[in-house]
Amino acid sequence: MLKLDLHRKSFAGHTVLEDVHLDLKQGERVAIFGPSGVGKTTLLRIIAGLDKRFVGTREAPDEIALMFQNPTLLEWRTTKENLQIFHPASDEQDIQAALSQVGLQDKADHYPRQLSVGQQRRLALARCFLTPTPLVLLDEPFTSLDQSLRQEMLTLTRAFLDKTGSALVLVTHAQDEAEALGAKYYELRNAPQNGVEFAAL
Amino acid sequence: MRRNTGIRIFSLGLFLLFWNGLSVLLGDQQVLPSPLQVFHEMSVLWQQGKLQENLVATAWRVAAAFGLAMLIGGAFGYAMGRSDGLDAWLDPWLIIFLNLPALVLIVLCYLWVGLNEFAAVLAVTLSKVPMTTTIIREGARNSSSALRDLASVYRLSLLTKLRHIVLPELFPHIVSAARTGFSVIWKIVLVVEFLGRPNGIGRQIHTQFSLFDVTGVLAYALSFVICILFIEFAIMQPSEKRVGRWRVDAEA
Ligand SMILES: Nc1ncnc2c1ncn2[C@@H]1O[C@H](COP(=O)(O)OP(=O)(O)O)[C@@H](O)[C@H]1O
Ligand SMILES: [Mg+2]
């Protein structure tokens, strides 16, 4: 499903990632852990197809969902429009269902600035899972949240993943997040002796 | 929204009184006519149909140059803000054009293209494009790369991206380009008309000037200023407010 053979990724001659191999089956979940600046976001952007300047090969589904640490919402569009714009094929009912699932059914016509931090995060989560995709990429989506919100987000994410059956690549700092989502746990070490292998078992 | 409306209106009244007092003090209508004389002249010109005719001619030029400058400057500004390479190539040109006086552009356009409508609109457009480019470029430079990533992964269509991401994100810069653009363009249009058009407010001011008719100059100038203020309050500010609704801070 997802197969990445990354031989080298450098920025301006400075190698960030070397020999990272990923082979993910349908519905498989992995978490990538590593110190700040080791190249986790770089790796995720390559998996997402956003960065094509690397040495190696990538094979990935066309439909991918992505979520960052920041909710990254369209502040000038309402909650409902924030979902519709990214999921043009979904109808009113799908949108309402997704909003209810994250507890935003009464906020359809609010602008992001009128939502609390937690509500904004949940909206970003709904956007990520509204249309089932074979692959979901999450870049530290639970970092810097207070404990109760983090638990809530983890529970919601787990429910979404179980429902859609998507494969997951999660970048995180915390091991318990990987466990909560049922993801296998890998570490990304400093280049050039990265040598990470994520092979499907 | 607009505070102290009473004070503003009162202050405007004071200005008219001041003008009237000065005109009485000078006691010479050739030098400074009273507001009433100017308003009377305006109504005479209106009845003759001259005022409307010239206002429309000028307004058309302003609108054409404004639209073109926003489109061309917007496109260049966005492209330069997004691509460092392009920016390096085009920035020196931008600086040259930014510092070229409008008068030089006007004269050159008339000399090269001829004394026609196209040259007139071209000159005004060219003198405004660099400023629009600079303002929009600043907006494009500050645009969110995370949103672009998201749009790319979700494979949004070009039109969707433009409508829901690029334009709203640039909106404050578009507004400020439109504001400065509008206020600069109508002044340059008057100069263009003054120098080489058979009609328009600028042309009439030229005519009244050669007749030493201060009342005529003021009548045309004032009617144009009234139109500009009307556009400012009836079109610019309300549309700005309408599109800026999302800026409301958490009040739910
Ligand atoms: N666009 C870029 N240009 C140059 N260097 C970059 C760029 N993006 C990331 N880097 C560098 O690559 C390394 C890895 O960054 P990143 O993938 O963001 O780390 P992480 O997400 O693990 O914290 C860092 O040293 C960073 O400075
Ligand atoms: Mg990162």
| Mean pLDDT for the stretch of residues A18-27 | 90
CB contact under 8 A, A72 and B146: yes
CA-based nearest residue to A67, from A113, A135, A4, A11? A135
Whether residue A190 has pLDDT greater than 60: yes
CB contact under 8 A, B156 and A86: yes
Which residues have C-beta within 8 Å of that of residue A15, sequence separation ≥ 6? A8, A9, A191, A192
**A77 contacts on B by Cβ (under 8 Å):** 164, 168, 246
Q: How far is CA A149 from CA A70, B87, B199, B250, in A?
A: 14, 44, 68, 20
Average pLDDT of chain A to the nearest whole number: 90
Which residues have C-beta within 8 Å of that of residue A75, sequence separation ≥ 6? A111, A112, A113, B246
Residue pLDDT, tens place only, B45-103: 999 999 999 999 999 999 999 999 999 999 999 999 999 999 999 999 999 999 999 99
Q: How far is CA A11 from CA A4, A39, A132, B146, B178, in A?
A: 19, 11, 33, 19, 39
| Mean pLDDT for the stretch of residues B238-248 | 74
Ligand 1 atom index nearest CA of A40: 22
Which tokens is A115 given? 């939502």
Residue pLDDT, tens place only, B197-220: 999 999 999 999 999 999 999 999
Residue pLDDT, tens place only, B11-44: 989 999 999 999 999 988 888 999 999 999 999 9
Q: A105 to chain B, minimum CA–CA distance in Å?
A: 14
Best residue among A11, A50, A194 to mutate for probing ligand 1's pocket (most ligand atoms within 8 Å of CB) is A11
**pTM of the predicted protein model:** 0.82
pLDDT at res. A193: 52
Which DSSP state fits A189?
-
CA-based nearest residue to B246, from A112, A13, A182? A112
CB contact under 8 A, A111 and B146: no
Gap between the Cα atoms of A199 and A196, Å rounded: 9
Ligand 1 atom index nearest CA of A39: 17
Average pLDDT of chain B to the nearest whole number: 91
| Mean pLDDT for the stretch of residues B111-123 | 95
End-to-end CA distance of chain B: 20
ipTM: 0.89
**Residue A151 Cβ contacting ligand 1 at under 6 Å:** no
pLDDT at res. A199: 42
pLDDT at res. B2: 60
**Residue A39 Cβ contacting ligand 1 at under 6 Å:** yes
Which DSSP state fits B200?
S
Query: What domains appear along chain B, each with residue ranges and CATH number?
Result: 37-238 (1.10.3720.10)
pLDDT at res. B251: 43
Give yes or no for A75 touching B (CB within 8 A).
yes
pLDDT-derived band at A88 (thresholds 50, 70, 90) equals very high
Max intra-chain CA distance, chain A: 51
CB contact under 8 A, A85 and B156: yes
Q: What is the β-pairing status of strands A2-11 and A14-24? A: antiparallel
DSSP reduced 3-state for A133: coil
Which tokens is A61 given? 């589904």
Gap between the Cα atoms of B120 and B105, Å rounded: 10
Gap between the Cα atoms of B251 and A27, Å rounded: 41
B203-210: long-range contacts at Cβ-Cβ below 8 A with a sequence spacing of 24 or more? Answer: B203/B54, B204/B50, B204/B54
End-to-end CA distance of chain A: 14
Whether residue A194 has pLDDT greater than 70: no
**Candidates B153, B245, B252; nearest CB to A66:** B153
Which tokens is A23 given? 């082979």
How many CA atoms within 13 Å lie on the side-chain side of A129? 25
b/e code A148-183 from CB counts within 10 Å (16+ = b): ebbebbbebbeebbeebebbbbbbbeeeebbebbeb
